[in-house]
Structure 1
Amino acid sequence: MLAYCACTLGFTMLSSVFSFYYVKVFLNYFMIEESWFQFAQLLYLTWNTINDPLFAYVQDTTNFSFTKTRRESILYTAPLFSLSFLITWFPWAKGTWVTGLHLITALCLYDTMFTYIGLAYCCLFTEISTDSKVRLQLTQWSQIARLIGSSSIFICEFTSESLKSFSSFQYTCIGIGIIAALFMTYAGLYAHTEHDVKLKKNSSDQHAMHDKSLDKSMWRLTWQVLTDRNFLSFVIANFCQLFQRTFMGNFVAIICDELIPDEFLSPSWRKVFYGSFNFLNTLLVIVGVPLIQSIGYASVIKWSFIWKIGAGIFMLFLGKEYLSIMMLYILFDQIFAGAAFALFGLPLSDIADHDKNKYKRSHPISSIIYGTNALVTKPAQSLSPMLTVAILNRYGYKEHTAGTLPEEGALMLKDAIFVLMCIYSITLGIIQILSWSMFVIRPKSKKEIEIELTI
């Protein structure tokens, strides 16, 4: 469990910085053309569609040295993940086709490593224990690690003066990449699961290791997962959650820069405000574990969707003139969305347990379930910035960054940014609450698990 938390720490350090900065860096500093930005996101979306089920099938059904266990999958690819992260921040050119090629390369390399390690990391959560209380405890501990890892945004904000000193930002990213690789390597050495131990004990008995339920093609196994009602309910809600989190993660700095003037929020407090998002949503999960145990994660997730709809409607009708309330809205929107997303490993693990029992597998096909989830939901990471950039540029954002947008156009741009922020919350929340109502799996207690094992 300690090794799992070490992986959480390293993984969060890289993913937090990447998702928070890459859009702003390429739009405002590398001056990428919109056509190249959209093309890069389209290729990114396509590669996302291919690599998730592919890597999932490889991890669950092959026995290479780098796929034997979840631990080894992390061990061999951790340094490559850090390297793919660093490639993003060193420009090949500015404002040319080379910049577009740079973004394509950075996104695809980063996502390759992110997906491969991410699948192994998520499967560790599912396979360390099937007891819902242990999983919730592991969620709590990993959130503490995530809390520490999310400080990478704080560090980057203060060392680079909110990207004003880009060279300082680059040096900081190098340090973050090295430290993250070390933590993930530690996880790769010591993150054992019960299934790993079982495989080691049965290594001399090939028949004992064989699972006939896996004598199927990747497509057949994926189809078994996709046709499950609970899985479909979950991935629809997860797609919407990832769409909104990507939007807020990539554009919150742009939103606040445009809607909240420096006279109201000074640059120093702005850094604290940006850096507090991941900190507070993680803290909420840590202190909220007793409530989650009491009412269940399903109810907590459902109420986060209800809040999203109500808060979005309230803010839309109130207007953007109330800056203090708008800041609170942005803050709580980030906190609740992030906290709910942190719990999504629990229903996905229950889906993996349900699939194992349904098809009488010797062990859960966790990678395929997580990979199929990513197959459906990860396109949101490309669609969200693609759609948002297209909308903002229709209202003159590109001209605004170049300083050629007239004052009247700038006011229309601010209105568009505000309305878009509220409409996303309302629309996605409605879809999520309808979808989540179809999710019926409930986690088993330790006593129920012991009874099943006895029988």
Structure 2
Amino acid sequence: MGSSSVWRAASSTAVLYGSLALFTSVLHNVFLLYYVETFVSVYKIDKISFWVGETVFLIWNSLNDPLFGWLSDRAFLTSPPSGAQVPSGQVVLQRLRALSRSGPLFALSFLAFWVSWARPGLQFLLCLCLYDGFLTLVDLHHSALLADLAVSASDRTRLNFQVSVFSALGSFSVFVSYCFWDKEDFYSFRLFCVTLAAFSVLGFVLVSWSLRRHFQKELQQRKDHTARDALSVGPAPDKAAVTIGQYLRQLSRHRNFLWFVSMNLIQVFHCHFNNNFFPLFLEHLLSDNISASTGSVLLGVSYVAPHLNNLYFLTLCQRYGVYRVIRWLFMLKLGLAVAMLLAGADHVYLLCIFIASNRVFTEGTCRLLKLVISDLVDEDFVVNRRQQAASALLFGMVALLTKPGQTLAPLIGTWLLCVYTGYDVFDRQPAKDSLVPVPDVDPGSGSPPLRLGCFNMLVFVPIACALLQLAAWSRFTLHGRKLQGVKLLRQGAEHGHLVDVKAI
């Protein structure tokens, strides 16, 4: 196969892989924007049922990632007899078969939100758990494919580039949805959601079938040369299956994994802090100086721009490496926050730029972290001499240890705001233990203590997060020569001349 043919095939594989993100994001963005409003304003769910549902959802959301990862990858944690090898193409086929089943089920679970079929509290609980379960299956297998399809940084960057392109396209479903959203007449919005779900089902079926057919053809051509298709670090001794306890002990000794999780926990916290308090910052820092349409534009840009901006970040990753680009983004976050702190809260246009850019760069960093997790999959494979990389399980363990950041963000944010300014977002009454005297004025009027408190949260949270992340990231050693050595070991010295995007 000539170099041009290889490039066309690799690009085709990358486009198909990236398009799977479109069929997820086109539904998930609509879900995030409307599911709470639907149950609160349309189905009239009571407060107790809502919080019970959210609590159960939080627990299920944290546990299902490692659970599904273990169920998916436990067979790969058994070392084969000496000299035996597992074809990596079979692993890819297993992921694609799982996506072809879980993708359509994910789309159907999305539809369950928009038709009232049970008591609001019961429907809310069941819909959230079903939806998040199938979303986790789709996301785990899609993320694991990033580590299974390619080993080299350039190929993984190309795959992630296509994911960003199609995720940006999927974000536009949010803008279209405004044309159909009407709490008083839900019929048009239901039809819109049915159309999105049908598009997603068709996309998952066709793309997963195309990729599976592509790989099956390649495996058929190589059925007599399975050794060349294997990923192995030399012959492995006979071993029993690795138990979950043994796997956790191995992971606890994986220093780069621990430093990455520490950094990523702060990143998840900061991303959700921005999401939770974006409307509050707009209301109390900018509402008197910008129009409602300008605020909506800032909100829309903050959702779409991270995907588009990530295309540039990925080109930088190809040139300088993911580690350096992420470090630069942390330094940029720190520099922008310090500059905003020095400028003060009275510069409206600077505030607009900072609020939007803070979310864009923070979300952009999140979208690069899958590349780092894929490198950790390589290191785990090499260090523990696995039969096959346990990609989905490692992604699931990262999610388990970092998702508490989603809960900590609103809890810490509302606590800081209440203690510093006396502003309680729930009852809007001055707190008795406030550290700052609160004047007897309407807290929603943008009084100086409240405005100052919002501004301090806006700038000091990024500063604290950036400093902690730079400290943790400086201890992460899986980059440069060490990363190249790990990738070489995973590929195998005898396979160094092969293209990394396998089964082309």
Q: What range describes the TM-score normalised by the shorter chain of this pair? A: 0.7 to 0.9
- Supply the distance in 2 between the matched residues of 1:72 and 1:153 (Cα, whole angstroms): 29
Q: Could you say which residue in structure 2 is the equivalent of 1:218?
A: 244
Among 213, 228, 237, the residue aligned to 2:263: 237
Pick the structure with more helix per residue. Answer: 1
**5+ unaligned residues in a row in structure 2: which ranges?**
1-12, 77-90, 429-439, 497-504
Among 95, 116, 126, the residue aligned to 2:147: 126
**5+ unaligned residues in a row in structure 1: which ranges?**
401-405
Q: Could you say which residue in structure 2 is the equivalent of 1:433?
A: 470
Q: 1:62 to 1:353 in 2, by over 3 A?
A: closer
Q: Could you say which residue in structure 2 is the equivalent of 1:256?
A: 282
- Supply the distance in 2 between the matched residues of 1:214 and 1:7 (Cα, whole angstroms): 36
Counterparts of residues 7-406 of structure 1 (less than 5 Å)? 7-22=20-35, 37-61=50-74, 69-89=94-114, 100-160=121-181, 169-192=189-212, 201=223, 215-261=241-287, 264-267=290-293, 269-316=294-341, 318-388=343-413, 395-399=423-427
- Supply the distance in 1 between the matched residues of 2:455 and 2:47 (Cα, whole angstroms): 21
Identical amino acids, percent of aligned pairs:
26
Q: 1:370 to 1:289 in 2, by over 3 A?
A: closer
Provide TM-score, normalisation by structure 1.
0.82
Give the SS at the match of 2:442: helix
Q: What letter corresponds to residue 115 of structure 1 in structure 2?
A: T
Deviation at 1:358, TM superposition (A): 1.3
CA contact (8 A) 2:107 2:200 kept: yes
Deviation at 1:92, TM superposition (A): 7.7
- Supply the distance in 2 between the matched residues of 1:196 and 1:262 (Cα, whole angstroms): 62
Q: What letter corresponds to residue 117 of structure 1 in structure 2?
A: V
Q: Number of residues paired by the alignment? A: 442
Deviation at 1:70, TM superposition (A): 0.7
CA contact (8 A) 2:18 2:160 kept: no
Q: Could you say which residue in structure 2 is the equivalent of 1:453?
A: 494
Q: 1:237 to 1:29 in 2, by over 3 A?
A: farther
Out of 179-188 and 382-391, give the one that drifted further: 382-391
- Supply the distance in 1 between the matched residues of 2:26 and 2:150 (Cα, whole angstroms): 25
Deviation at 1:49, TM superposition (A): 3.1
CA contact (8 A) 1:91 1:99 kept: yes
CA contact (8 A) 2:26 2:171 kept: yes
Out of 141-150 and 314-323, give the one that drifted further: 314-323
Q: 1:171 to 1:291 in 2, by over 3 A?
A: same
Q: Could you say which residue in structure 1 is the equivalent of 2:442?
A: 408
CA contact (8 A) 1:213 1:359 kept: no
Q: What letter corresponds to residue 340 of structure 1 in structure 2?
A: T
Out of 224-233 and 54-63, give the one that drifted further: 54-63
Q: What letter corresponds to residue 473 of structure 2 in structure 1?
A: W
- Supply the distance in 1 between the matched residues of 2:244 and 2:288 (Cα, whole angstroms): 53
Provide TM-score, normalisation by structure 2.
0.75
- Supply the distance in 2 between the matched residues of 1:349 and 1:319 (Cα, whole angstroms): 41
